[in-house]
Structure 1
């Protein structure tokens, strides 16, 4: 390969992953993908090839905003190679953009597994994790993914917590952890306990809407009443029906799973319709400062799950940087406010490199076993596959937060931890405030 750190050029090729995997046979895969048969059990070499795929462009690009920045730091960290068992390996990076497109993810899967024959594949996008994981499992390539609730990673692939997968591993929190934090925040204030919900029709959205493990079950169990507007397509730009349903239902709380652009549209339409509520706690929508800034003064008080903040009391296993130091470096070098995915973008490489170091990295089974045995502390906290009750999954920490107008002029809003019931080691910074109290 002429460029070890190349980025993927735009491609118009489309491959259906069902066709790609039909029969899971070598001939079927080669025929569907138009690739020659390859021998994945390659001869040992002095170079480790690490594939990475994420949504560098497209509708989910805000989730990947820090990725290129993190990649440059990881490349610098590994510039002299990776020493494992007395041997020094050069490290080759194969960075792929799935363009936030499920079809593109299938193309990327074939490129990383069949053409590039990566030793390890790191996945930072839920839609990519499914087709890449399926093909990698069929061909025996260890994969490690993050940034989608583990239910949204496992259940669409028809597996269960006791079964797992041959070579696919995932670390993140679960939709049930979000429910506990959301309900914990709501229980700290007085409302009519009516919750209006809506969800994107995609893997994480369906995980959140799951009747048992998602929001509906948690809402009911906690004594709240759900008024569900159901699933909506990711391209939706009109939420007038949902707003009308919530207004007519007299809900005090709006929740569910949307992206920031969806919420900006919905909240503007809510203002036009005269709909006011006491709490807005929506997964994904309020992860990024940009979404709050787009709301202007009406962003004050939005509440969310918190994956990671500079307040988290953890350090990088690679650099020794604290969460606060990593966030400060981002702000200094980019001029932008820190964003939650920074932590997981960095931790994915921490876990991947730790697994490589604990294995014979050119032996796929040794590397698989090393991932399964991981028990390390990263910039986002513990990543523990060893002994996990959910096979192939390491469940990470989560808390609840609320965006409030910043006291300093550095940023318009700051994210404060208002609930730490599922992770008491994360310091609480404020109490949840009703929107009517902030008006």
Structure 2
């Protein structure tokens, strides 16, 4: 007999260091609950349950969460977002237990290479949407060029996966930025959390780096900027991905960090904002509507992952409604592989990605400006996506 019940499993960082990223996903699941109560496919109505399990921000707990969702909860699809080490653990475990997985918020090269694969490899069960390291490099280079042209760029990259990927000569920053006339100087790897950046500051001085690019945590970037200032060095611009795509007031409570990063005027990548001109495929809400609802519900400022969390749920809903048999995990995976869907984060197209399992999102460039209510992210360059309106000007640090 055909089962009339479906389960969407979610692995979310509800606790631990990634917990700030779990809030947008938790909100979206609450907000879209009416649209997720049931789906229709092939003339049949299916009741849907959503089960959320905590990754606890660790790979080990994330793997166990997937196994529990697949076996105990009998999930038909698993959704996840966030975490350089956690997300590959989720995806690999989904591949092992043969349950479709949708994920986001992670450069696609990291998604592929952290799992020991290359861009020609086709995963059967796991699908992802995001941007590439090359896309980040292009956006950052455009912002560097907005401050007096070409530069010597001091690269503040850690000694972990993120830093190794950014340094890679094939798909890191150098293949994009060197042909544009920028000189990249590796300031030297460091371990997170950092205790001292004097070696990196010395290399900044030695090579005359006048711009800094990084993927540091808020606390580490603030420490570097503080020690550079004490040494009499002021970069003209600081670009930072990863944790600095979120307001630093959300990721650390330390007031000294807030003051230091406000002074640094950090520029970053923008993949979603209330000003993006997109609509939800589930309820027609706009990006501005979603951001406002989040602020009303949580009392907190919107975060970029909010739009991606919503698109994640939209895509899962689409896959369940278009699969040949939504009770068959393999049919759901095939449905994702052929998906092209207009979402609140833009159009996601798994038929045109850089690998068989990736849908690309375009990036714009933004900068954190000081505001009485806290850091405010303004969009300062939109060359890759001119449909996104500019909302501010790029301001050099000095």
Q: Which residue of 1 aligns with 2:333?
A: 368
Once the two structures are superposed, residues 56-81 of structure 1 have per-residue CA deviations (whole angstroms, 9 ceiling, x without a partner) of 222222222322212211223323x2
Query: Using a 3 Å threshold, how does the CA distance of structure 1 residues 134 and 422 change in structure 2: closer, same or farther?
Result: same
**Superposition pairs of residues 4-403 of structure 1, within 5 angstroms:** 44-79=2-37, 81-126=38-83, 127-190=85-148, 193-291=151-249, 294-296=257-259, 298-300=261-263, 301-359=265-323, 360-403=325-368
Once the two structures are superposed, residues 308-331 of structure 1 have per-residue CA deviations (whole angstroms, 9 ceiling, x without a partner) of 111111111112111111111112
Once the two structures are superposed, residues 99-127 of structure 1 have per-residue CA deviations (whole angstroms, 9 ceiling, x without a partner) of 22223223223323344332101111243
Normalising by structure 2, we get a TM-score of: 0.91
Query: Using a 3 Å threshold, how does the CA distance of structure 1 residues 262 and 371 change in structure 2: closer, same or farther?
Result: same
Query: Using a 3 Å threshold, how does the CA distance of structure 1 residues 164 and 83 change in structure 2: closer, same or farther?
Result: same
Shift of residue 377, structure 1, vs aligned partner: 1.1
**Aligned equivalents of 1:200, 1:97: Cα separation in 2:** 27
Contact kept? 1:146, 1:170, Cα under 8 Å:
yes
Once the two structures are superposed, residues 235-264 of structure 1 have per-residue CA deviations (whole angstroms, 9 ceiling, x without a partner) of 334333323322343211110211223223
**Aligned equivalents of 2:249, 2:202: Cα separation in 1:** 23
Higher relative contact order (CA 8 A, sep 6+): 2
Unpaired runs of at least 5, structure 2: none
**Aligned equivalents of 1:160, 1:336: Cα separation in 2:** 39
**Aligned equivalents of 2:329, 2:388: Cα separation in 1:** 36
Once the two structures are superposed, residues 139-168 of structure 1 have per-residue CA deviations (whole angstroms, 9 ceiling, x without a partner) of 321111111101010112232323220111
Shift of residue 202, structure 1, vs aligned partner: 4.3
Q: Secondary structure at the match of 1:316?
A: coil
Shift of residue 389, structure 1, vs aligned partner: 4.1
**Aligned equivalents of 2:174, 2:17: Cα separation in 1:** 26
Query: Using a 3 Å threshold, how does the CA distance of structure 1 residues 193 and 75 change in structure 2: closer, same or farther?
Result: same
2:384 matched to 1:422?
Answer: yes
Q: Secondary structure at the match of 1:435?
A: coil
Q: Secondary structure at the match of 1:310?
A: coil
Normalising by structure 1, we get a TM-score of: 0.83
Say what the alpha-carbon RMSD is for the aligned residues: 2.2
Unpaired runs of at least 5, structure 1: 1-42
Task: Name segments (4+ residues, structure 1) moved above 6 Å.
Answer: none
Contact kept? 1:215, 1:256, Cα under 8 Å:
no
Once the two structures are superposed, residues 263-317 of structure 1 have per-residue CA deviations (whole angstroms, 9 ceiling, x without a partner) of 2332333333333110000112322223498422751521000111111111111
Aligned residue pairs, count: 390
Q: Which residue of 2 aligns with 1:14?
A: none
Contact kept? 2:36, 2:317, Cα under 8 Å:
no
Shift of residue 335, structure 1, vs aligned partner: 1.9
